[in-house]
Amino acid sequence: MTPAAALDGMLDRTIVAGYSRFGYDIRRRGWPAGDPRPNALAGATVLVTGANSGIGKATAAGAAALGAAVLMVVRSPRRGESARRDLLAETPGAELVVDSCDVSDLVEVRSFATNLVVRQPRIDAVIHNAGVMPEHRAETDQGHELALATHVLGPLLLTELLLPALAAAPDPRVVLVSSGGMYTQALPTADVEYRGGDYRGAVAYARSKRIQVALAPILASRWAENGVTVAAMHPGWADTAGLAQSLPGFRRLTRPLLRTAEQAADTAVWLVATAARLPSGRFWHDRAARPTHYLPTTRYTDGELERVWRYCADAAGLEP
Ligand SMILES: NC(=O)c1ccc[n+]([C@@H]2O[C@H](COP(=O)([O-])OP(=O)(O)OC[C@H]3O[C@@H](n4cnc5c(N)ncnc54)[C@H](OP(=O)(O)O)[C@@H]3O)[C@@H](O)[C@H]2O)c1
């Protein structure tokens, strides 16, 4: 192992150093210059969910700066338009389209995606960034726990329905924005919808983020025939409206250490823009594939993973 790789791995394990802006600053020194190359996404269409705020907005900006046409998928057209104006001021002439869809609502996702593939027959990348940490247990109209629906079920169905458009791209990529918080949680094999026990939003959030990472290899196999590369990633800790609202105490304590949204978005943008061939189904942070477990308590068997996958695929309404 090179000294740089050893330092990088150590940063990951210390968490505070790795997830903070210091981790980003140290690691970026080892990244090759010119990757992604300027205009790497010229001619490409990149869809970003939750693109009106925080990391999603910075991801949309990063993709647009590399020449992509960006579909900004938001649940509030007003907030979407306001973000679009900001991004146009940053990158005049950028091709930015605001589209409305609540990704936790499977009926809305189905109708949105069915229309989108008609008007947008080629989509090069989908970045599932929309995220939520519910204060109380809430269910969508289809009866699914909100964090699960937002982070797992909606993204599964949306990607599946967009496969014809993804397959029309030369090197399609799908990114699931997870969280380092997932390291703390095991797969909720017996209670995917978090019906039992005291509901804690941070736990629901981290469990659903664990599911994203656990399913990535299965999705990589499922979508391989469409040429899709799947990547889960985590952005580190970033000072966003979402963090301020969900974890105000944590933000107060860690504020000087937090990344900017742009720093947190870097890996998601890199994953869709780098010319490098990436292995599909891995978990990434700061442009490197990372372990998916640090605690022995989070390990699961193939059977447990299969059970969670079956549950999510059925709940999202995927064809077997
Ligand atoms: N900030 C961090 O330190 C951190 C750390 C680890 C992981 N992450 C992940 O990074 C992603 C972005 O987080 P952020 O910190 O940038 O938070 P944020 O500022 O709250 O942004 C979240 C975005 O998701 C949108 N959204 C939420 N539910 C949605 C739904 N059902 N349909 C469509 N859009 C929806 C929000 O829209 P509205 O504006 O309409 O609410 C907002 O645009 C999330 O997946 C989060 O879990 C963040």
What pLDDT score was predicted for residue 8?
Answer: 79
Question: How many angstroms does the Cα of residue 305 sit away from the middle of ligand 1?
Answer: 26
Q: Which of 183, 194, 205, 311 is catalytic?
A: 205
Instruction: Tell me, in angstroms, the distance from the centre of ligand 1 to residue 281's CA.
Output: 22
Q: Are 274 and 36 in contact (CB under 8 A)?
A: yes
Tokens representing residue 35 in the block = 């990757």
Query: What is the pTM assigned to this prediction?
Result: 0.97
Q: What are phi and psi of 263, to 5 degrees?
A: -65, -40
Distant-in-sequence, close-in-space partners of 126: CB < 8 Å, separation ≥ 6: 46, 47, 49, 158, 159, 162, 166, 173, 174, 175
All domains in the chain, ordered by first residue: 3-316 (3.40.50.720)
Instruction: With H, G, I as helix, E, B as strand and everything else as coil, classify residue 219.
Output: helix
The reply to whether 294 belongs to the active site is no
pLDDT score at 10? 75
DSSP state of 255: G
Q: Which residues contact 138 (CB under 8 A, 6 or more apart)?
A: 145, 146
Give CA torsion, residues 61, 22, 30, 45, to 10 deg.
-20
Query: In angstroms, rounded to a whole number, what is the distance separating the alpha carbons of residues 190 and 106?
Result: 23
The alpha carbon of 105 and the centre of ligand 1 are apart by a number of angstroms equal to: 16
Query: What's residue 295's pLDDT?
Result: 94
Give every CB contact of residue 257 below 8 A, 6+ residues apart in sequence: 16, 20, 21, 22, 237
Question: Ligand 1 test: best mutation among 15, 47, 49, 53, most atoms within 8 Å of CB?
Answer: 53
Mean pLDDT per 10-residue interval, the chain, length 320 residues? 73 80 95 96 98 98 98 98 97 97 98 98 98 98 98 98 98 98 96 97 98 98 98 97 94 94 98 97 97 96 98 94
In degrees and rounded to multiples of 5, residue 11 shows phi and psi of -60, -40
CA distance 118 to 106: 19
